Each structure stands twice: as structure tokens, then as C-alpha cells.
Amino acid sequence: MAALAPDALPAYVYDLTALAAHAARVRGALPRRVELYYAAKANPEPQLLAALRPYVDGYEVSSGGELAHVHGAVPDAPLAFGGPGKTPAEIVRALELGVARFHVESGHELRMLGALAARHVPERRIAVLLRFNLPVADGALDGVSLAMGGRPTPFGADPAEADALVRALTDGGLPQLELRGVHAHLASGLRAPEQLAVATSIVTWSTALAARHGVPLAEVVVGGGMAVDYAAPGERFDWAAYGAGLEHLAAAHPELTLRIEPGRALTAYCGWYATEVLDVKASHGEEFAVVRGGTHHLRTPATKGHDQPCTVLPSDAPWPHPWPRPAARGERVTLTGQLCTPKDLLARGVAAPGLRAGDRVAFGLAGAYAWNISHHDFLMHPRPGFHFVGAAGEA
């Protein structure tokens, strides 16, 4: 990052070797019978999708755009098409591309899929996983960063509709659709013990549903949402403990394929957002460093309310101006971007004594939900560069 020319900043730098090594460790910690799909919404850069290919069984896509993009980047890969509010055109495209699984989120969507399949691919069987917003034990999702289930949300069908949906899939009225399994993604930001508790309750609920109707159930997706700790960037989700727990769960249900679909915990660690300090100033007793770029490139800290972990790379380039170089006088500096909003905060109270204009800052854990969730055009600043280092598959 220090090697990038000043006019190349800000820039995203992705380490594909590190990504491949991390994905290999994740895959290695999981039992063979557990399938791993990457949730492409976390970061759909084609280079990352390709680097992950040897370690994942498929990709979860949640829009027609992701569907077309991921199919283009990794054409041989199985896709699971999820997401609320699928349009008829998106469903038709998914049918034409032959996606491996549909995660169906409502009765309306199920009937729409049945009707469109009959019209566009009448000869084909379509594998359906019903997505449910399942109840969780009181307080089980209290500490999580994003809850999509266990409370009123638009994601998946209400469990109260489960019996009717299973009947709709098995009473012969939608003959092309095959009830393959159940899908749930209840929260993001869960550590291994909570993930296992959630996975166990999803599997228990799903197998009871199937037993009630006397129908076979082949697959249960227990979601993504493995925690990434932005306050402790060296920590990792305990994949070994999670894998061991899933092994138990899989052993108790030999008829089932379990599937997980993490996004953040796969790609967060391989990305960096590198930039330089433009100015340093004191304001009402606090010091601020304004960096080139900001949350319109790296929205993660603004959207999650955390401080993005970062490393300062002091610059030894001579100061080119006849006036003094702006520099921090105290120990702690708040790093902000160029936007005209107090929300453009990248990291507060960073220990950066002596930070100066021209120094570089590399923000870590910027490989997931970073560039692709940012409001790029606000204020019309230039876009960052993108650099992919390391060879995928070297792990």
C-alpha cells in the first residue's frame, strides 16, 4: 500500500492469496457433508468470486443483477436464488439460467414461480427451499448486529404459514416445484455457540415440519451471519467449534444436507481501503484528520456504527509547501472523510500521535459490505482504484 503512487489513492486492495488461504481454512473446519455457499452480496468482485471457487459449493445470489453477474464470473457454479421481492423478470432469468435452488419467501412468490416455470421451462423440475422467519428463544438474537428473523421482518414466510406452503408444494397444484428443503437466515453477527444454537433450532423445526406432513426433506440452509469483530481485527469466528457442532447436528440427521451461506466472515479480512491524510485540525478540543475519500467509498463504519480498524503508514516524503505541515498534537485523532456530513466518520479516537498530512492510512476488514454498499456518487468525488494482489489458489 505504501507503494501506490499518491494519485492512485484512495484505493481498495484485495489480497487474493490471503482470501484463498482463509477460505481453505474455513472449508477444512467444516464437515464434508456441510455445503458452503458464499453470499455474493458481501462482495461480488469477480476476482474474489473466482478465488473462492475451489472452496465453495456454490453462491447465494439475491437479485437478478447478482444472478447475471455471478453466473458470468463463475459460470460453472451452482447458484441459489434468494431475496425478498423477486420480480417475474428475475424469476424467468433464473429459470433460464437453470439456477440450482430457489429460496422462496412467500406464498405469492411460490405461485408466481410455479406459473412462470410452467410457461418458460415446462419440462423442468425446480428445486425449492421455503424460507421461514423462524422464532428463536427469547434473547437469543439480542447481541447481534442485524436481525432478519425471530421478530417481525419482511424476510421469509411466517412460520404460521408453513403448513399451507408445504401443502401447496405437495398437493399436486404446482407439479414442477419440488420441496427440497427449508432455508433460514436469521441474523448477522453471531458467534459460534449462538450460530450452533440457531442452526439446531432451524433443523429441529424443519424436520418436525416435514414429519408432520410425511414428506421427505433433503436440505436445510441454516444461513450465514458468522460474526466479524471490527473491534478485534485479529480475532476470527471459531470455525473449528462451529464445524464440530455441525458435525454432531449432521450425524443426528443423516438424511439431510446442511448448508451454510456466509458472506462477511469469508471476505471481510482480505480487503483494505488505503488512503492519505489531506488535513489535520483541532476543533473544540478534539483532533480530526480528513482523509482523501470517505464513507462514500467505505460505508461500513457508518452503517454499522463502529470504528473501522486501521493502520497508519507515516510518510517520509518531504512536505512540498512553504507553510507548516498540519500535524496532530495529541495522542488520539478522529479520521473523517471528505463528505459534508458529520456522519462521514471512519474511525474515532485512533491512537495516532503525530499523524501528519501526507501520511497514509490503511483501513482493514474492508473486504465485505464496503465498496459495494457505499453511496458512491454523493458529492461526486472520484472513485477509488482497485488492486488485486496475490494469486488465487496459492493457498
Ligand X SMILES: Cc1ncc(COP(=O)(O)O)c(C=O)c1O
Binding site for ligand X (CB under 6 A): 39, 41-42, 60, 82, 148, 185, 188, 223-226, 261-265
How far apart are the C-alpha atoms of 356 and 320, rounded to whole Å? 13
How far apart are the C-alpha atoms of 295 and 335, rounded to whole Å? 11
Give 381-386's long-range contacts (Cβ < 8 A, gap of 24+).
381/293, 381/294, 381/296, 381/338, 381/339, 383/297, 384/9, 384/10, 384/11, 384/12, 384/273, 384/293, 384/297, 385/4, 385/8, 385/9, 385/10, 385/11, 385/12, 386/11, 386/12, 386/14, 386/45
In whole angstroms, the minimum distance from the beta carbon of 334 to ligand X comes to: 27
Closest to ligand X by CB, 77 or 265: 265
How far apart are the C-alpha atoms of 209 and 368, rounded to whole Å? 35
Residue 54 vs residues 41, 50, 57, 78, 287: alpha-carbon distances, Å: 19, 8, 8, 13, 46
Closest to ligand X by CB, 226 or 355: 226
Residue 61 vs residues 99, 103, 186, 204: alpha-carbon distances, Å: 10, 10, 17, 26
Per DSSP, the three-state class of 8 is helix
Closest to ligand X by CB, 10 or 367: 367
Closest to ligand X by CB, 16 or 148: 148
Closest to ligand X by CB, 268 or 346: 268
In whole angstroms, the minimum distance from the beta carbon of 54 to ligand X comes to: 20
How far apart are the C-alpha atoms of 369 and 376, rounded to whole Å? 13
In whole angstroms, the minimum distance from the beta carbon of 156 to ligand X comes to: 9
In whole angstroms, the minimum distance from the beta carbon of 79 to ligand X comes to: 13
How far apart are the C-alpha atoms of 301 and 370, rounded to whole Å? 9
Closest to ligand X by CB, 53 or 259: 259
Sorted by sequence, the CB contacts under 8 Å of residue 102 that are 6+ apart come out as 80, 81, 91, 94, 113, 126, 127, 128, 129
Instruction: Name the catalytic one among 231, 340, 351, 380.
Output: 340
In whole angstroms, the minimum distance from the beta carbon of 113 to ligand X comes to: 17
310 as an active site residue: the answer is: no
In whole angstroms, the minimum distance from the beta carbon of 262 to ligand X comes to: 4
In whole angstroms, the minimum distance from the beta carbon of 356 to ligand X comes to: 36
**Phi, psi (rounded to 5 degrees) for 39:** -80, 105
* Element of type H or E holding 328: none
How far apart are the C-alpha atoms of 6 and 249, rounded to whole Å? 52
Closest to ligand X by CB, 148 or 361: 148
How far apart are the C-alpha atoms of 333 and 2, rounded to whole Å? 21
Alpha helices in 125-263 (DSSP H): 162-170, 192-213, 239-252
How far apart are the C-alpha atoms of 3 and 9, rounded to whole Å? 11
What DSSP state is assigned to residue 282? Answer: E
Closest to ligand X by CB, 6 or 193: 193
In whole angstroms, the minimum distance from the beta carbon of 264 to ligand X comes to: 4
Catalytically active residues, by annotation: 340
